[in-house]
Amino acid sequence: MLDEDRAIPIPRRALEVGIDFFDMADWYSAGANEMVVRRALLSMAPRGPLPDMRHDQRLRRGAQAARACRGRVKSRAASDRRSAQAQDEARLLRLDEAWNEAYRRNDRAPLAEILADDFTGLTPSGEAITKAALMINPPGGARSVVFSEQWVRVFGDTGISRGRLHLELADRRIDQRFLRVFARRDGVWRAVSVSVTPLAAEGDG
C-alpha cells in the first residue's frame, strides 16, 4: 500500500488525461483511500477562473475535471450529513416513543435507559425534578394516556423533541405540552432535560 505522498500523483495524472471517475469504498484501506483522494482533488482544483491552457488541452481538461470532482465531493459530504441527521432523528424518535410507552403502561422502569443520570427537568408547576423522582410510578394510573404532535430535530450532538399529552384521571383531565432535550455522549443518546407546560386542567364537576 502506498503512503499518501506517493499516492497523490496517481489521481493527478488521471485528471490530466481526462479521467474524472474514481471508484472508492469505505473498506479500501480502512477508509483512508477516500480521505487521500479527497485531499488530492481539493488541493488540485482551482478556485478562481481557469487559466489559459490552450497550449496544453490535456492539462485544461484535468483542471476542469478536478473542479467537477470537487463539486461532487462536496455534494456527497452534504448528502452524508443529511443521512447522518436522519439516522439520529430516527434514534431520537425511538427514544421518545419508548418514553411515551412507559407512561402509557404506567411502568417507568424503562426510563432508566432513556434518561441520563444527571437528568433534570421542570414539572408543570415549575418545580425541578430528577431522574429518580421521574421514574416513580404515579399511584392509581390514568384512565387514558394519549400523545400527539410528536416532532424531533437534531443539532449536532443535541436533539429536542416536543409533543402534547392528554391525561384522563379519575377526577380530572390534563392537557400539557412538553419539550425534551437529548444529548449524545460517547456515541449514545440520552435525555438530559424536559420542560412541561400545562394547557388545561378540567374537573369533572
Question: Do residues 124 and 186 share a domain?
Answer: yes
Reported as a single tens digit per residue, the pLDDT across 121-176 is 999 999 999 999 999 988 877 889 999 999 999 999 999 999 999 999 888 899 99
Residue range(s) defining the domain that contains residue 105: 85-203
Reported as a single tens digit per residue, the pLDDT across 43-87 is 666 555 544 444 455 555 666 666 666 666 566 666 666 788 899
CB of 122 closer than 8 Å to CB of 128:
yes
Question: Do residues 56 and 134 share a domain?
Answer: no
Question: Do residues 93 and 76 share a domain?
Answer: no
- Give the CATH number, domain containing residue 107: 3.10.450.50
Of the candidates 162, 180, 172, the one whose C-alpha atom is nearest the C-alpha of residue 200 is 172
Paired sense of beta strands 128-130 and 115-122, if any: antiparallel
User: Of 64, 82, 100, which one is at a domain's C-terminal end?
Assistant: 82
pLDDT tier at 112, thresholds 50, 70, 90? very high
- Alpha-carbon separation of residue 61 from 55, 137, 171 (angstroms): 12, 70, 78
Paired sense of beta strands 115-122 and 188-203, if any: parallel
CB of 180 closer than 8 Å to CB of 191:
yes
Number of domains in the chain: 2
Question: Do residues 95 and 161 share a domain?
Answer: yes
User: Of 50, 82, 114, which one is at a domain's C-terminal end?
Assistant: 82
Question: Do residues 71 and 156 share a domain?
Answer: no
